[in-house]
Amino acid sequence: MSKLYQDRDREFIDYQLYELDGLTLRGPQSSSPNGIAYLGAAQTFGTYCEDPFPTIIGRTLGIGTMNLGRGGAGPDFFLTSRDSETLLGIANRARLVVVQVMSGRSINNSAFFSGLGISRGHRLPDGLPMRSEQVWLDLFFGTDKRGNDPEFLRKLIEENSRAYVEKMVQLLNKISVPKILFWFSERAPDDYRFPSQQRLEELKFSRTMRGRFSAKVLYKLGMWDRSPKPSLLGQFPHLVTEQMLEMIRPFADAFVECSTPAGMPQPLRNSQGVTVNYNRYYPSPEMHRQAAEKLLPICKAMLESSSG
């Protein structure tokens, strides 16, 4: 995924990818094990951001940085994927680990399975290759007839929520060094609605327009771009509520929240400085700077405590 991001985004940014223990990680390279490791999804990786919060913290504290963020990752990516043992090995050699509160959309449930611990997988029970959000989309649009049963949806949401909490707790328990649970989002933990009726209407309209016009025409009209839009599943972290977070927090040594929409949407400029797109989904550079400001005091205090 890191290489896919590099290829996709090369007109905007160079992620300075490098290899460590057979993994391709986000740069710049500063991989002293005597530092901080960061586990998370694209928000930790720093999509569309020259200086993501792990880089800012490492530079400020003069300490090694292992950015293990992976686009689309949920807790299972760090627990059961083919790279999980290596990732946890790197994390447990660090002095401190920051674990992002990741999305709940990659969780395996009665309707979706991903053997990779990411949001790509297949629908159950028919095995059709599909992203998890498409599974939910089909349920709420009635394309998957099971979605017409409110009780099925209620039980599926409960199942997904329960499994997410279990997986996040498992992940925190796998980390033997001090760890910080980190909430990084445009929204506060208590601000979650699923699904968004407004988003359902937007998607219905988008489907209608895409059926009538080409992507090129829609792009010129300002109705199409390559940047993800706000999700059917609400704002990141999808499917995660304050009640779920409260069950996870006791298993970390500290908790830090950064809830801000600063800098959103973010203009994406090419090498000539021309705005060619907008980022409406991934945290902006301003959000990353605020995230670093929130994390720095507790990171510094925990590092000093561990060295004492």
Short-list 148, 43, 51, 52, CA closest to 100 = 43
At 237 the pLDDT is: 94
Give me the helices (H) in 131-224, please: 132-141, 150-174, 197-212, 215-220
At 221 the pLDDT is: 40
Q: How many CA atoms lie within 13 A of 305 on its CB side?
A: 11
156/164 Cα distance (integer angstroms): 12
At 234 the pLDDT is: 75
Helix 53-61 and helix 285-307: axis angle, to 10°?
40
- What number of other Cβ atoms are within 10 A of residue 225's Cβ? 16
252/267 Cα distance (integer angstroms): 35
- What number of other Cβ atoms are within 10 A of residue 83's Cβ? 18
At 217 the pLDDT is: 40
- What number of other Cβ atoms are within 10 A of residue 94's Cβ? 25
- What number of other Cβ atoms are within 10 A of residue 93's Cβ? 16
At 216 the pLDDT is: 46
Provide φ and ψ at 233, rounded to 5°.
-85, 10
79/85 Cα distance (integer angstroms): 8
Q: pLDDT tens digits, the chain, 308 residues: what are they?
A: 667 788 888 888 999 999 989 999 999 998 676 899 999 999 999 999 999 999 999 999 999 999 999 999 999 999 999 999 999 999 999 999 999 999 999 999 999 999 889 989 999 999 999 999 889 888 887 789 998 888 898 899 899 999 999 999 999 999 999 999 999 999 999 987 666 555 556 655 555 544 554 444 433 444 333 444 446 677 899 999 999 999 999 999 999 999 999 999 999 998 888 998 899 999 999 999 999 999 999 999 999 997 76
78/169 Cα distance (integer angstroms): 12
CATH topology of domain 2-129+160-307: Rossmann fold (3.40.50)
229/216 Cα distance (integer angstroms): 18
216/224 Cα distance (integer angstroms): 8
Short-list 255, 96, 232, CA closest to 168 = 255
Which uninterrupted H or E stretch holds 269? strand 266-269
At 209 the pLDDT is: 47
Tell me the per-residue pLDDT of 70-129, one tens digit each, with 9 for 90 and over. Answer: 999 999 999 999 999 999 999 999 999 999 999 999 999 999 999 889 989 999 999 999
At 227 the pLDDT is: 42
Answer positive or negative: Cα dihedral of 237, 243, 244, 245: positive
Short-list 277, 181, 178, CA closest to 228 = 277
Which uninterrupted H or E stretch holds 59? helix 53-61
Which uninterrupted H or E stretch holds 257? strand 254-259
